[in-house]
A and B are shown apart, each in its own frame.
Chain A
Amino acid sequence: MPYTTETIEPGTELLTVNMGPSHPSTHGVLRLILTLDGERVVRVEPVMGYLHRGMEKIAENKTYTQFIPYTDRLDYLAPLSNNVAFALAVEKLVGVRVPPRCEHIRVLVCELSRISAHLLWLGTHAVDLGAISVFMYTFREREVLYDFFEALTGTRLTTSYTRIGGLARDLPSGFLDAVGRWLDRFPKDLDEYETLLTKNKIWVERTQGIGVLKLADAIDLGVTGPNLRASGLEWDLRKAIPYSGYERFDFDVPVGTTGDVYDRYLVRIEEMRQSVKICRQVVKAMPGGPINVDDPKLVLPPKEKVLTNMEELIHQFIIVTEGFKAPKGEVYQAIEAPKGELGFYLVSEGEASPYRLKIRSPSFVNLQALPRIAVGALISDVVAIIASLDPVMGEVDR
Chain B
Amino acid sequence: MIAPVPDVAHGQRVSARTVEALRGRFRDAILDHRTFRDEETVQVEPSRLVEICRYLKDEPDLAYNFLTDITATHWLDRDYAYEVAYLLYSLSNNSRVRIKVRLTGAPGSASVRTVAGVWGAADWLEREEWDKVGVVFEGHPNLRRILLPEDWEGHPLRRDYPVEGVGA
Contacts and interface: CB of A to CB of B under 8 A. Distances in A.
A70 to B, nearest CB: 15
A219 B68 contact: no
B36 A365 contact: no
A243 to B, nearest CB: 10
Given A242-B8, A330-B36, A345-B85, A49 B98 contact: no
B5 A222 contact: no
Interface of A: 48-49, 52, 54, 56-57, 60-61, 92-93, 95, 217, 219-222, 232-235, 239-242, 329-332, 334, 341, 343, 345, 347, 355-356, 358, 360, 364-365, 368, 397-398
Contacts of A232: 2
Given A233-B2, A332-B69, A398-B147, 8 more contacts: A61-B163, A222-B66, A234-B4, A331-B37, A332-B39, A332-B68, A345-B85, A356-B71
A92 B147 contact: no
B116 to A, nearest CB: 11
Given A222-B68, A360-B69, A365 B8 contact: no
B135 interface: no
Interface string B103-123: 000000000000000011101
B41 A330 contact: yes
A88 to B, nearest CB: 12
B5 A239 contact: yes
Interface in B81-96: 85, 87, 91, 94, 96
B69 A358 contact: yes
Nearest to A57: B156
Given A343-B68, A397-B147, A92 B37 contact: yes
B87 to A, nearest CB: 6
A162 B94 CA distance: 28
A156 B80 CA distance: 46
A56 B37 contact: no
B119 A220 contact: yes
A234 B121 CA distance: 20
B16 interface: no
A62 to B, nearest CB: 13
Given A331-B36, A331-B39, A332-B96, A49 B121 contact: no
B157 A57 contact: yes
Contacts of B4: 234
Contacts of B147: 48-49, 52, 397-398
Interface of B: 2, 4-5, 8, 11, 36-37, 39, 41, 65-69, 71, 73, 85, 87, 91, 94, 96, 98, 119-121, 123-125, 128, 132, 145-149, 156-157, 159, 161, 163
30 contacts: A49-B147, A54-B156, A56-B157, A60-B159, A61-B163, A92-B37, A219-B65, A220-B119, A220-B120, A221-B120, A221-B121, A222-B125, A232-B2, A234-B2, A242-B8, A330-B39, A331-B39, A332-B69, A334-B68, A341-B68, A347-B71, A356-B71, A356-B157, A358-B69, A360-B69, A360-B87, A368-B120, A368-B121, A368-B124, A398-B147
Contact of A235 (B67, B91, B146): B91
Nearest to A56: B157
A329 B37 contact: yes
A242 to B, nearest CB: 7
Contacts of B148: 49, 52
Given A52-B148, A329-B36, A57 B163 contact: yes
A364 B146 CA distance: 11
B37 A93 contact: yes
Contacts of A356: 71, 73, 157
